[in-house]
Structure 1
Amino acid sequence: MTQPPPPPPNQPPQQPGFGAPAGPPQPPVPPAPQPGYGYPQQPAAPQPGYGHPHQPPQPAQPGYGYPAQPPAANPYTQQPPAPTPANPYAQQPGYGYPGGPPGSPAPVPTPAPAPTPGRNNATLFIVVAAVVVIALIVGGGIWYSKSSGADGRKDDTAGSSAGGTGGEGGGKGSEKVPADPASRILFQVPLPTANDTTVTAGSWLTDKVYAKTGVARIVGYDPDSGAKLWTVPLPGPVCYATGHTSADGRTAVVFQPKMPPKGSTAGCTQVAAIDLNAGKRLWTQTIKSGDVPINFNNVTVAQQTVAVGGTSGGAAFALASGKVRWQPKPTDTCYDAGYGGGAKLVAVRRCGSGDTAQLHIQTIDPVSGKVISEYEMTSGIAYASVVSTDPLVVAADVNDSAGDGSGFSDVFSIDNRTGRLRTRISTPGSSYAARCDGIYQLEKCQGVVVGNDRLYLATEEHDGGADHTKTNEIVAFDLATGKQTGQRADAGDNYTITPLRMDGPNVIAYKDPPYDKGVRIVSIDGGSFSETKLLENPATAAVRAVETTMSPASAEVLYSQGHLYLSAVYAHAAGSSVSAKEYLVTAFGAGG
């Protein structure tokens, strides 16, 4: 295989041993796909937004629109409901699960030593030929925090990013409301075949092009017609991609140096910058430990810096030239496991291993690597995801309390400049539907976005207002106080709603429909929480078949200016058993 096979569905992810990555690490696998409200819904797997896959899409499950039990009262009012011992919808690919005791007060942060300058990353280890996998261990113990950083230090300036989950909302949204939101299929790209299951992570949209990763290539398409504009060939498959792009349309990927034989891997050692508007690879870089190239587990772009991280440490390059800005140092006992990008650059730095491991959340200068502020998480929180870099929001599975591999039990709102904890929000998995990959792609989260200094979070499914229906909501939390604002966007009976990204002060959301309707894209006003329909797909069998296999839980979803792009994150070998024709990309356009 070009990637190691994913673990069985509904199992917590496995991970590479400290200092011993070998092949491309296999991302964690969400629960098996489940049906939607009133019709089959999304298969579980990788994530949307800029999308980074973790499991090949699974066949759709039987319809779910006619449950026998009567609806219960809607528990999702202005305050989060009390968690239950077991999530009644645990089989669904929930997005975000509890951490510390629900409702527990946030601990008072205490000062810590000033952060060390520079990027002294992990002790280097020889990269072995096979992935050494150990079970994910998250230690127990009492939660506490330390913070450090100097007030008045010069912060890094805001940069440009496209897509993603983070970012401060403000001003007016840029999305125009189409005169007719009814959509049609603009174009479809057939799913390519490969020697084995192969990652096709990465999709981007600029003013000039829609670009998508294929098998060992990235292709640019006309956003309206799907005409092929350019192809950037790669020697091997893409392992990881970031959804962030610079203002001039540049992004980055990590890929294998060659096409590996079936059942093997060539390692995720190559880092490249791609000019999406010009359709060319700008440069390719590797970092070595002795004579052995280091494997990287994630990639991001912040301003004019490409940053990559992994269990051998992190490195950074100038986006335009590929010049090395920092790299792992053999004398360091900690390592940068990964980075969050976009407006700012945030490192998730890991010190120690097992139950004694400690994570340091550092806002760093994207050019020099100098630490601007640092927040120390308690020992026993082994992995964390960066939901947003500005404002800084981090999600983690505290004491393994999520229990389902979602990586999401608690949210930490942190001051970028001082490193102090603003508030901690408990997000019980029985109530909220968010999922983050804190192991490999640290900024890849579903069901949660940040803007207006608020956290917008999808709730878990529950009984709807009418008999035999299901529904959910998006609710908002204040990142200064940790309390719900009282804002709530109801999906409606037999719809489920998932936030995709911010549009200025507004939330762009995806509504998965019942069997006799098409997907909707809506804009939720950041103040009134009123909903405006931007696009609605036709309710034909062919379109619903695409939507069922390309939901936000299993595919990459991009929406902009009346255009919706759904794309697959895996290709598979020819002759694989499939129930219908599969597509790499399906693009929809509003306006009939």
Structure 2
Amino acid sequence: MSIPPPPSQPPSGGFGAPQDPPPGGFGAPVPPPGPAAPQAGPPQQPPAGQPAYGYPQTGPGYGYPQQPGTPPPFGAPGAPGAPVAAPQPPAPAAGSGNAKRTQLTIVGAAVLACVLIVGGGLWYTSGDSGGGDKVDSNPSASPGNDKPQDYVPGTEKAPGNPKSKPLLNQPSPVPADVASVAGSWVTETTYIKSDLSKVVGYNLVDGGKKWELPLPGELCGATKHVSEKKAAVLFKAAQPTPENKYVQCTEVGVIDLESGKLLWSGNAKSATGGDKPVTFNTITLSGQTVAAAGISAGGAAWNLADGKSLWLPKVDGESCRDVGYGGGEALAAIRKCGQSPNYTLYGQLLDPTTGAPTVSYKLSPGIEDAYIVSTKPLIVGADVGKTAKNATGVSDLFVVDPKGELKARIPLASGDFGAKCSSEVERCMNMVVGNGRIYLPSYEHQGQASSSRTNELLSFDLETGKQTTDRADAGERYTIFPLRMDGSNIIAYKRPPYDKGGQIVSIDSRTMKETLLMENPADKASQRAETGFSPEYSEYRYHNGKFFISRTMVSKPYSDKADPEYLFVSFSAS
């Protein structure tokens, strides 16, 4: 079986090499949740007499037409850092011990075992899954198809005037310490946002409050998916008291997003834990199934409509348990077996009514955490051999076919891509799947001016695992990342420099031509409010000319002199 080597590394200091981004810029290091990330400020003005951050300078720069004999742009196939397949692994240079070890790690990761569900029994296969050869079956082929098939027009249209105005900037609540406020959704009439021990609906006309749903305890999780205008949340059964300071997250509830009604709530009991409710830390939604999981207890599921229990947490004799689920078009799970450090992980598709796996893909030994990037098709992300660089938490994506075999492996360990996965099975950012491709940003790099930063939106073909020729530029001093699909188009956000407002664009997947849907104000107050959110700990929602950026964690202000902190900011284009 021929396994492609990891993407070639760019030269030191070249495009894609880690650089110091501006404060608050996309990809800037942020503290892990625990307290919430502090508010990011705009880049500082340079000293007098020096060129300002991001200002254009003379001379041809990145993204401009190349002169004969110059290398192709960053991110394009064949460019420095672009993944390329080779018929056989290249011979490492003398003394390249690290290169050998990295190559062996990647090769070992591609040798996998699959568990196929056949009738009522299990069929185990090991070694070559039969899908590995497809990764490099034709290394001389062009990277991916030139155009996606079966184009479906989107519903998002450019407004008559894309210049937006602030709709509502909601001040951030002040908890006793740190609190979760994860969860935000948009319907045709309402923006819904989790708050301290409550969920609130705001109308889309002027941002006025439509309804408020109080909960008995703090929210600790929410589905990013919506089904029949319903979403599910995790919350604590009570507020903390001096006698019980650490209330566990045990309650699951479903909310009608239009009316603000809590349709039902409940919890689950462990099969071996008596009457004590199970603690959950993640929740998702697929069709008529709500599924929640905990790190040690496993997962449970309920019917969306009435809260009827579908299955309860189960841990088998090999200490196998579901540690998290992915929802949307299908229901998937990461199942972890064994004990540290000898875990065995599986990416699975589940029967949503029984929880039984219908497809099971075994990851290579040594992987401690894995993520569900997509459920249809099933795409599992993992950091193989701790080789992830700028693609935080994910070095490889594994595309699994309906038989549970590896269809394609997409390497991200070069450090040239801005995808991120962390902490929860369904918490992967900056990746959107559609048109038989996965769209993700390049890691930010130097722009036209030596002090500016920018990046591009790129894609990989899910059939071959090869990078395509797709490319949409963020533009000088902007950074781009995808939000969601709209038909066959990609809705993306361009995070602005310190003197501009952000932009929402629709990208035609056939041509990668961008259509401006929204451009936010550039005045100081509006710009600072927009960029005061860390992309890694925020939720971005755009629908029909309305754009919302919200926090997932809140904490006490660090200083009375700090900029105002907002639970969410919003913009409306006419």
TM-score bracket for this pair, using the shorter chain length = 0.7 to 0.9
TM-score, with structure 1 as normaliser = 0.76
Percent of aligned positions that are identical: 41
Check conservation: 2:26, 2:479, Cα contact below 8 A: no
User: In structure 2, do the counterparts of structure 1 residues 411 and 447 end up closer, same or farther at CA, with 3 Å as the change threshold?
Assistant: same
> Which of 384, 394, 399 in structure 2 is aligned with 1:413?
399
For residues 380 and 54 of structure 1, do their structure 2 counterparts lie closer, same or farther at Cα, with a shift above 3 Å needed?
farther
Which runs of structure 2 are paired with 1:348-367 in the superposition (5 Å)?
348-367=334-353
Separation of aligned partners in 1, 2:326 and 2:465: 22
2:154 matches 1:187 = no
Q: Is the 8 A contact 2:384 2:395 kept in 1?
A: yes
Instruction: Describe the shift of the 1:300–1:117 C-alpha distance in structure 2 as closer, same or farther (beyond 3 A).
Output: farther
How is 1:543-562 mapped onto 2 (pairs within 5 angstroms)? 543-562=526-545
> Matched residues in 2 for 1:60 and 1:185: separation?
19
Q: CA deviation at 1:187?
A: 1.6
How far has the Cα of 1:103 moved from its partner? 12
Q: Please give the alpha-carbon distance, in whole angstroms, between the structure 2 residues aligned to 1:54 and 1:100.
A: 35
Residue 196 of structure 1: how far off its partner (Å) = 1.4
Indicate conservation of the 8 Å contact 2:114/2:360, yes or no. no
1:377 pairs, out of 359, 363, 369, with 363
CA distance in 1, matches of 2:102, 2:485: 28
1:268 aligned residue: 249
Q: CA deviation at 1:354?
A: 2.1
Unaligned segments of structure 2, at least 5 residues? 1-17, 45-52, 63-70, 84-100, 132-148
TM-score (norm 2): 0.79
Number of residue pairs the alignment of both structures matches: 495
* Counterpart position of 1:307: 291
**How many angstroms apart in 2 are the aligned matches of 1:249 and 1:574?**
34
Structure 2 residue 410 is matched with structure 1 residue 425: yes
Matched residue of 2:509: which SS? Answer: coil
Higher relative contact order (CA 8 A, sep 6+): 1
Q: How does 1:55-74 map to 2 (within 5 A)?
A: 55-60=36-41, 62-63=43-44, 64-65=53-54, 74=73
Bigger radius of gyration among the two: 2
Measured in 1, the distance between the counterparts of 2:514 and 2:344 equals 42
- Counterparts in 2 of 1:514 and 1:573: CA distance versus 1, 3 Å: closer
Residue 69 of structure 1 deviates from its aligned partner by 13
Alignment of 1:504-519 (within 5 A): 504-519=487-502
User: 2:232: which partner in 1?
Assistant: 252
The separation in 2 between residues aligned to 1:367 and 1:460, in whole angstroms, is 40
Give 1:388's match in structure 2, choosing from 352, 374, 398.
374
- Counterparts of 1:61-140 in structure 2, within 5 Å, are 62-63=43-44, 64-65=53-54, 74-79=73-78, 81-82=80-81, 101=103, 107=110, 112=115, 114=117
Cα distance change on mapping 1:45 and 1:320 into 2, 3 Å: farther
107 and 43 in structure 1: CA distance in 2 versus 1, 3 angstrom threshold = closer
Report the Cα distance in structure 1 between the residues aligned to 2:429 and 2:150, rounded to whole angstroms.
Answer: 18
How far the C-alpha of 1:242 sits from its partner, in A, is: 1.2
Cα displacement string for residues 397-449 of structure 1 (whole angstroms, at most 9, x for unaligned residues): 1111126792211011111x211110101112521111112x42x11211211
**Is there any run of 5+ residues in structure 1 with no aligned partner, and where?**
1-30, 85-98, 119-142, 149-167
Q: Is the 8 A contact 2:331 2:351 kept in 1?
A: yes
Cα distance change on mapping 1:541 and 1:169 into 2, 3 Å: farther
Q: 1:214 aligned to 2:203?
A: no
Q: Alignment partner of 2:364: what SS?
A: coil
Q: Once the 2 structures are TM-superposed, how far is the Cα of residue 556 of structure 1 from its aligned partner?
A: 1.2
Does 1:287 find its partner at 2:283? Answer: no
- Residue 274 of structure 2 aligns with an amino acid whose one-letter code is G
Q: Distance in 1 between matches of 2:467 and 2:209?
A: 46
RMSD of aligned Cα (Å): 3.4
Once the 2 structures are TM-superposed, how far is the Cα of residue 292 of structure 1 from its aligned partner? 2.2
Counterparts of 1:298 and 1:256, CA distance in 2: 13
Matched residue, 1:136:
none
Q: Deviations over 1:342-367 (max 9, x none)?
A: 10000111111223211111111111
Which residue matches 1:468?
A: 451
More displaced stretch, 552-561 vs 300-309: 552-561
Partner AA of 1:359 in structure 2? L
Could you tell me how far 1:590 is from its partner in structure 2? 0.8
The farther-off stretch of 52-61 and 261-270 is 52-61
Partners in 2 of 1:32 and 1:366 — Cα distance?
44
CA distance in structure 1 between the partners assigned to 2:20 and 2:188 by the alignment: 34
The whole-number CA distance in structure 2 between the counterparts of 1:386 and 1:354 is 21
Residue 347 of structure 1 contacts residue 362 of structure 1 at CA under 8 Å; is this kept in 2? yes
Q: What code does the residue aligned with 2:437 have?
A: R
1:80 and 1:431 in contact (8 A); partners too: no
Q: Residues 424 and 575 from structure 1, CA distance in 2 versus in 1: closer, same or farther, beyond 3 angstroms? A: closer
Query: How far is the alpha carbon of 1:219 from its aligned partner?
Result: 0.4
Residues 177/193 of structure 1: CA separation in 2 closer, same or farther (3 Å cut): same
Q: Distance in 2 between matches of 1:578 and 1:187?
A: 22
